[in-house]
Amino acid sequence: MKHYDAIIIGAGQAGVPLAKKLAEAGKKTLIVEKRWVGGTCINDGCTPTKTIIAAAHVAHQARQAGRLGLEIDTVKIDLKKIMKRKDEIVDSFRTGAKKGIESTNGLDLIHGEATFSGLKELRVKTSDGKERLFSADWIFINTGASAKIPALPGLTKTNYLTSTTILDLKQIPAHLVVLGGNYIGLEFAQLFHRFGSKVTILEKSSRIVGREDEDVSSAMTEILEEEGLKVLTNITIEEVKGAQGELTIQLKTPDGKKNIKASHLLLAIGRTPNTAALNLDIPGIKTDKNGYILVNEKLETNVKGIYALGDVNGGPAFTHIAYNDYTIVFRNLMEQGKHSTADRQVPYCMFTDPQLARVGLSETEAKAKGLDFLVAKIPMTQVARGIETGQTLGFMKAIVDPKSSKILGACMLAAEGGEVMAVLQMAMQGGITADTIRYGVFAHPTFSESLNNLFMNMKAQ
């Protein structure tokens, strides 16, 4: 049994920086990684998907160039080159993260699967098949989550795709059916349609991106359908037959039963925490009914000295939230801070085209809280920069307190929506009001300049 001051299980976007900072602060630290350094984000999340989306965006822009007076005869998609570029970028990020660990004094890295063997003791089955025992004063769980697989009749025989396996496709699907009309599913749906796939999105609820306001969902549906994707809602899959290349998906729809023929099926119905192999019952760590580790506002489990960071704790499943988890834990433990997850902002951006970016309260959430609020909204057809660049899909929207003029939330379904949302997020952090932005001076012509006009259009709801 080898003892450390701290052990991190999982080299994700919380685990790696935390391990390095603890080691630099003089704590003897071990990081255990089952797969690759970098976690979901670098290996099969943000980095590879946004790299591929960039190629799909350029292909779409080329096909739409005629609107700007440019004639491009054909657009040829070379999936092999696109995937090669993706792999090279992923490898460079992964290698850089691993080198950062290996160059940090007092920090050890072991590849293997960790499981609890005692209160603060771990058994690690290493990649060479051996087993080693470790203990620590602090243990940090950063094992992330994986694609949720539904129990559908016939599914296991189909060689279905997940958000991980779809990244290794060698050919563009003839007809990609996407099960799930939310963030992961919509990004893949649009990008493969732009590569030339016929795409059908199946959503079990009444609308896609169901956590967003109805006007956002409606606009996103219209945008996708006008581009050529098919969106079906209130759908239940009863059975899947065949194998990849020749699938038959039996549906129950509001109009009765229906069969869809497809070449590929992507499962994008959510995530499930990677906790099954940890033997959490041994130290007595509590989880919710879905297996997510329960933590308090300081990210500590019910067992003192054991923490859970990132997707595995059931909080917002975003890279930037995992990173913020690390900063909270480190500052509290090593700098005697009093930081918590309470009331922290949770910005996010879906990289469809246009992007869907949000921070703070939505209109639906403000109504549910019984708040008195104003809604500022402007269509992108009235944004000068959008008109000039031919990017007029979507809208900008903000929720404002009528008495204080404070911005309560923002939603950008717009070109570069994530960047514009960040402007309002900074305003919210600094207490800058809608009135101040309304009369502020922004460089012309930029997307952010239209925040002037946005806040000239505030109406009570």
CA dihedral 336, 341, 346, 350 (to 10 degrees): 100
Of 225, 201, 452, 211, the residue nearest 350 (C-alpha): 211
324 assigned to some structural domain: yes
Euclidean distance between CA atoms 143 and 12, whole angstroms: 7
The pairing of beta strand 236-243 with beta strand 246-253: antiparallel
Does 255 share its domain with 281? Answer: no
Does 203 share its domain with 322? Answer: no
Instruction: Answer yes or no: 444 catalytic.
Output: yes
Helix (H) or strand (E) segment spanning residue 21: helix 15-24
342 assigned to some structural domain: no
In the predicted structure, residue 211 carries a pLDDT above the cut 90: yes
Assign 3-class secondary structure to 120-173. Answer: CEEEEEECCCCEEEEEEEEEEECCCEEECCCCCCCHHHCCCECCCHHHHCCCCC
The reported pLDDT for the residue numbered 343 is: 87
Does 373 share its domain with 452? Answer: yes
- The HSE-up count of residue 197 (CA atoms within 13 Å, CB side) is 28
In the predicted structure, residue 149 carries a pLDDT above the cut 80: yes
The total of structural domains in the chain comes to: 3
Does 279 share its domain with 133? Answer: yes
| Chain centroid offset of residue 456 CA | 32
Does 388 share its domain with 323? Answer: no
In the predicted structure, residue 400 carries a pLDDT above the cut 80: yes
In the predicted structure, residue 461 carries a pLDDT above the cut 90: no
Does 32 share its domain with 130? Answer: yes
347 assigned to some structural domain: no
Does 12 share its domain with 99? Answer: yes
Does 205 share its domain with 300? Answer: no
Does 223 share its domain with 298? Answer: no
Q: Which of these three, 237, 269, 301, is where a domain ends? A: 269
Give the type of residue at 355: Q
The reported pLDDT for the residue numbered 460 is: 83
Euclidean distance between CA atoms 103 and 23, whole angstroms: 11
pLDDT tens, residue by residue, 324-382: 999 999 999 999 999 999 989 999 999 999 999 999 999 999 999 999 999 999 999 99
The stretch 20-45 carries a mean pLDDT of 96
Q: What is the pTM of this model?
A: 0.95
Q: Which of these three, 237, 253, 269, is where a domain ends? A: 269
In the predicted structure, residue 179 carries a pLDDT above the cut 90: yes
Note down the domain range covering 108: 2-146+272-334
The reported pLDDT for the residue numbered 129 is: 87
Residues 6+ apart with CB under 8 A from 272: 145, 146, 147, 148, 149, 290, 291
Does 282 share its domain with 206? Answer: no
12 assigned to some structural domain: yes
Phi, psi of 432 (to 5 degrees): -75, 130
Q: Which of these three, 224, 244, 269, is where a domain ends? A: 269
Euclidean distance between CA atoms 267 and 252, whole angstroms: 17
260 assigned to some structural domain: yes
Cis status of the peptide bond prior to 173, with omega within 30 of 0: no
Euclidean distance between CA atoms 347 and 234, whole angstroms: 28
196 assigned to some structural domain: yes
Does 6 share its domain with 125? Answer: yes
Euclidean distance between CA atoms 317 and 86, whole angstroms: 22
In the predicted structure, residue 135 carries a pLDDT above the cut 90: yes
The reported pLDDT for the residue numbered 318 is: 95
Of 287, 263, 286, the residue nearest 273 (C-alpha): 287
**Which residues does residue 250 pair with via DSSP β-bridges, in sequence order?**
239, 259
Euclidean distance between CA atoms 58 and 89, whole angstroms: 18
Distances from the Cα of 93 to the Cα of 87, 103, 196, 450, angstroms: 10, 15, 29, 35
The reported pLDDT for the residue numbered 189 is: 98
Does 53 share its domain with 176? Answer: no
* CATH number of the domain enclosing 214: 3.50.50.60
CA dihedral 43, 100, 18, 312 (to 10 degrees): 10
* CATH number of the domain enclosing 397: 3.30.390.30
Q: pLDDT-derived band of residue 151, with 50, 70 and 90 as boundaries?
A: very high
Tally Cβ neighbours within 10 Å of residue 121.
Answer: 17
Mean pLDDT of the chain: 96
In the predicted structure, residue 259 carries a pLDDT above the cut 90: yes
pLDDT tens, residue by residue, 81-95: 999 999 999 999 999
The stretch 227-254 carries a mean pLDDT of 95
The stretch 411-439 carries a mean pLDDT of 97
345 assigned to some structural domain: no
The three-class DSSP label of residue 192 is: helix
185 assigned to some structural domain: yes
Euclidean distance between CA atoms 453 and 391, whole angstroms: 17
Give residue 416's region: left, alpha or beta (phi > 0; psi -120 to 50): left
pLDDT tens, residue by residue, 277-330: 999 999 999 999 999 999 999 999 999 999 999 999 999 999 999 999 999 999
